[in-house]
Amino acid sequence: MAPDKRQHSDSFLMEARDLKMHFPIRKGLFSSTVGYVYAVDGVSFGINRRESLGLVGESGCGKTTVGRCLLRLYRPTSGKIFFQGQEIQDMTRKDLLKVRTRVQMIFQDPYSSLNPRMRVRDIIGEVLTVYKIVEPLERKDRIAELLQAVGLQPDHGARYPHEFSGGQRQRIGIARALAMNPKLIIADEPVSALDVSIQAQVINLLDRLKEQFGFSFLIIAHDMSVVEHVADRIAVMYLGRLAEMASDKEIYTDPKHPYTRALMAAVPIAAPGGIERRLQRKLLTGEVPSPITPPAGCRFHPRCPRVMDECRNRKPPVIEVQPGHYVHCFLYA
């Protein structure tokens, strides 16, 4: 799917514009603010209808915070969030209801994301009852339908979450997210807590459901190989800012940003000569700087192999190297 070049808010299903989320650090007797965690610091991107966007970055780069801001689980410090052309960043809880039933989340940890005291059918079906989507009689059928869609048996509904394995629990979480027929599903590291053998199953399931239910998809991951299968477009994040955004193919064949290149180098290559090819690439050294005291200028400059003087004190511009391929880097200015 070709990324939309236009930047109008109504062309995207959901759009973040210069989104910032700074968490105050409070200390001492009077909890005075001594600093901020710059978790997200000026991120802009959009998700098209029926598109899946992968958001990739190292842990601690703010990808989860972006996802939670889009759902308004956090109220962003500044910036704008549009959903179907409507600004949602300052909405009250009541106004948000319409958004929240349309945007759903899949969580990373399938063990803490399901209420241990609720039966599976109530976990999935509660939302139907709360918003009176279905008649009580239809509710059972709808739950059975959802369970089957995610590859579980209808009679699993009577059980409690602890009776299921990690992969099955994640499927229950997916069924809950699907219950309202959402327009957008935000999956926060949906498979990183699962065994490798189960990961592929769940990824394939998500891919299939996306076609079947026709939702847009924001998949957050730290692992390039996870998003590779699902995402149409990939946005790479580094320390609260975007580094690069392009279609799936271009990121893989022609990464521009030095950080993206380093990330690609970390992906194992399953091909003859893969190891040698990988060794030729430059792997990153050093640690991610703290988001409390982020580096000035380009966030990546302390670790960048091609750092220049400007990178140290000026924020890099956004450059469209090819239609729909955006790089935040001075190298292409």
Partner 1 sequence: MSGSIEISQELFDPQIDETPPSRFKRMFVYMWRYRLGMLGMFFITALCITAVLCPWIAPNDPYEQDIMNMLKPPFWMDGGGMDYPLGTDQVGRCLLTRIMYGTRISLLVGLSAVGIMLVIGAGLGILAGYFGGATDSIISFFINCMMGFPFILLAMSLVAVLGPSLQNLIIALGLTSWPVFARVARVETMRFKSQDFVLAARSLGYSPLRIMARHILPNLLSSLVVVGTVAVARAIIRESILSFLGLGVQPPIPSWGMMLSEGRGYMLMQWWMATFPGIAIFVSALGMNLIGDALRDLLDPYLRKT
Q: Report the interface residues with partner 1, using CB under 8 A.
A: 68, 71, 73, 93, 96-97, 100-101, 103-105, 107-109, 112-118, 126-127, 130, 160, 162, 173, 176, 180
Q: What is the nearest approach in angstroms of partner 1 to the Cβ of residue 268?
A: 29
Q: What is the nearest approach in angstroms of partner 1 to the Cβ of residue 96?
A: 6
Nearest alpha-carbon partner for 102 in 215, 206, 231: 215
Residue placing its CB nearer to partner 1 in the complex, 3 or 182? 182
Residue placing its CB nearer to partner 1 in the complex, 31 or 148? 31
Q: What is the nearest approach in angstroms of partner 1 to the Cβ of residue 235?
A: 21
Residue placing its CB nearer to partner 1 in the complex, 92 or 280? 92
Residue placing its CB nearer to partner 1 in the complex, 131 or 274? 131
Q: What is the nearest approach in angstroms of partner 1 to the Cβ of residue 37?
A: 17
Q: What is the nearest approach in angstroms of partner 1 to the Cβ of residue 234?
A: 24
Q: What is the nearest approach in angstroms of partner 1 to the Cβ of residue 175?
A: 12
Residue placing its CB nearer to partner 1 in the complex, 71 or 245? 71
SS (H, E, C) the chain: CCCCCCCCHHHCCEEEEEEEEEEEEEECCCCEEEEEEEEEEEEEEEECCCCEEEEECCCCCCHHHHHHHHCCCCCCCEEEEEECCEECCCCCHHHHHHHHHHEEEECCCCCCCCCCCCCHHHHHHHHHHHCCCCCHHHHHHHHHHHHHHCCCCHHHHHCCHHHCCHHHHHHHHHHHHHCCCCCEEEEECCCCCCCHHHHHHHHHHHHHHHHHHCCEEEEEECCHHHHHHHCCEEEEEECCEEEEEEEHHHHHHCCCCHHHHHHHHCCCCCCCCHHHHHHHCCCCCCCCCCCCCCCCCCCCHHHCCCCCHHHHHCCCCEEEEECCEEEECHHHC
Q: What is the nearest approach in angstroms of partner 1 to the Cβ of residue 115?
A: 4
How are beta strands 233-238 and 216-221 bridged, if at all? Answer: unpaired
Residue placing its CB nearer to partner 1 in the complex, 19 or 177? 177
Residue placing its CB nearer to partner 1 in the complex, 160 or 213? 160
